[in-house]
Amino acid sequence: MLKGIAASPGIAIGKVLKYENKLSLFKEKIEPWEIDEELQNLHRAVQDHILRLTELRDKTGREIGEKEAEIFDAHILMLKDPMFIESIEEKIRVGKNSAAAAVKFAVEETAGILKDVDDEYIRERASDIEDVGNGLIKNILNIDDGLIEKLNDEVILVAQELNPSDTARMDKEKVLGFALDTGGRTSHIAIMANSLEIPAVLGVEGLSKNVKDNDLIIVDGNKGIIIVHPSDEQIGEYNRQLEAYKMKKSMAEKECNRPCTTRDGKEIQIGANIGTPGDAEYAKKYGARGVGLYRTEFLFMDRNDLPSEEEQFIAYREVAEKMAPGPVIIRTLDIGADKSLPYLELPREQNPFLGWRAIRICLDRRDIFITQIRAVLRASNFGNIKIMYPMVCGVGELIQANGILQQAKDDLKKEGIAYDEKIETGIMIETPAAAIICDILVKYVDFFSIGTNDLTQYTLAVDRMNNRVADLYNPMHPAVLRLVKHVIDVSHRAGKWTGMCGELAGETLAAPVLVGLGIDEMSMNPLSIPRIKETLRRISFDKAKEFSKEVLSMEHPQEAQDACRAFLDQTGN
């Protein structure tokens, strides 16, 4: 029995598949006349790998969640960092190293500095740098590593380490669990394993050297235990535990299509966050009563030009028809910051998250905006569609956006094209400005949806992509929770409703607080829906209201999280 870190709960019993993601055999030194060719190889590989990571980012956003997808934003930024690329170029020009070797040495230098830092979170970020390096080297060498992409049998992956790109590519239906030599609770593999509901035990030193392919092992992600070559008695006991867990999960999934009502009769609308029309079926499978966030930017990505009105109309109509009569909240184009469209030639900005993005771009590029609005309006004739504007900070932006909406309505009416004349409009509350003046903004909208990802980032002045301060990012911070409470109260006083589409909505730990604060709708990654519904059905709304008052008075995010854990333990979750 080996002890590690319980990084993702659950139990897995299966055969080992050892995975090695590091590269060691390649030419290191080059001749002077090979320098130009190696520089060309480097630049080609960098551009190819950026495209590869962009695809992985979009895939992860659709299949796992936006929070997990942001991991790849950091990787892409690293490949666009002139200092990082220049350090590799110097090793080629001056050190006469091959492109692959130059990347290896540059990564070792940078990762080595982080590994010497006392802070666990910062040490874990060294694996991000190594992940970027390994991917870049594979691209330089034209290596197609498909070992974990199409698996024939169910396996438990055992490795020295797994990187985010490995996890995003793997055949998730066949991977029963993770058992790694390295990693901790703050590692990206822990975050992704939790989101995928895959049991994981990390930090089991020397494990990968002491097991071989097809060895039978048990991964106990609840206690942080690995059992190699378990006895019949141990297999029997863990099989009983596994069956009990599967039964509980199965019951939650069977019940997932029932309305979500607390023990004392308070109904909470549960929706899904999606990025493509195909995600709608996936959302319905897991019990979504609608779509709380349709990220339309995926329609604009991975192409060379803007999607036409007809293309957009077809996509929006498909989702509306699939989810009917449930609501579909379509967020208008949210690009800029961490999401760029090469064909729009967005300017390079020092602070892109504070720059030209989302509604700001749409109001400046009215041709893009009105095309999208027309497509949404046309699709509204085929289902229960609502429009949501992102990144609104003031009433002026909202009045302009509604003015363009009215123009599109007038044009369609003249053209004899049907649309829902009572279509609801709302805004994402994702800046402190919008939260503070929501009593003004509420006059111009039908609903609010709180985007806790950006609201937390802007409220706490914490760049989620900056490894040195990312541990300060916590949506359970009292400042964030008080803003959430303020927005909900203002909307209710105006006879309107507030939902939440940020990652916090899918966190079981936060469920009692959000319900107690009076949230009307919660939208999340479809995978989280059965678990959240089961949790909410065990909660008393009246008790949650009293509990939320206690949480709002707490001084520290950790205190709030501990209190939530205790509250859920009392309800049997």
**Residues near 166 by Cβ (< 8 Å), separated by ≥ 6?**
19, 21, 131, 148
Give the bridge partners for 291, in sequence order: 272, 328
CA distance 454 to 452: 6
**317-345 as b/e, with b when 16 or more CB fall inside 10 Å?**
bbbbebbeebbbbbbbbbbbbbbbbeeee
**Residues near 414 by Cβ (< 8 Å), separated by ≥ 6?**
none
- Strand order of the β-sheet with 11-19 is 2-3, 225-228, 216-220, 11-19, 155-159, 175-180, 200-202, 5-8
> One of 75, 188, 260, 393 is an active-site residue; which one?
188
**Residues near 336 by Cβ (< 8 Å), separated by ≥ 6?**
346, 352, 355, 356, 357, 358, 360, 361
Nearest to 41 by CA among 87, 86, 77, 92: 92
CB atoms within 10 A of CB 173: 7
CB atoms within 10 A of CB 266: 18
**Do the beta carbons of residue 220 and residue 227 sit within 8 Å?**
yes
The angle subtended at Cα 458 by Cα 454 and Cα 463, nearest 5°, is 85
Residue 256 designated active-site: no
> One of 256, 393, 438, 501 is an active-site residue; which one?
501
Residue 486 designated active-site: no
* Amino acid (one-letter) located at 367: D
**Do the beta carbons of residue 506 and residue 271 sit within 8 Å?**
no
Q: What is the token pair recorded at 170?
A: 């793997």
Q: What is the token pair recorded at 172?
A: 């998730």
**Do the beta carbons of residue 77 and residue 465 sit within 8 Å?**
yes
CA distance 195 to 172: 12
C-alpha distances (whole Å) from 347 to each of 340, 355, 375, 492 are 10, 10, 27, 40
Cα dihedral 489, 495, 501, 506, rounded to 10, equals 70
Instruction: Cite the active site residues.
Output: 188, 501
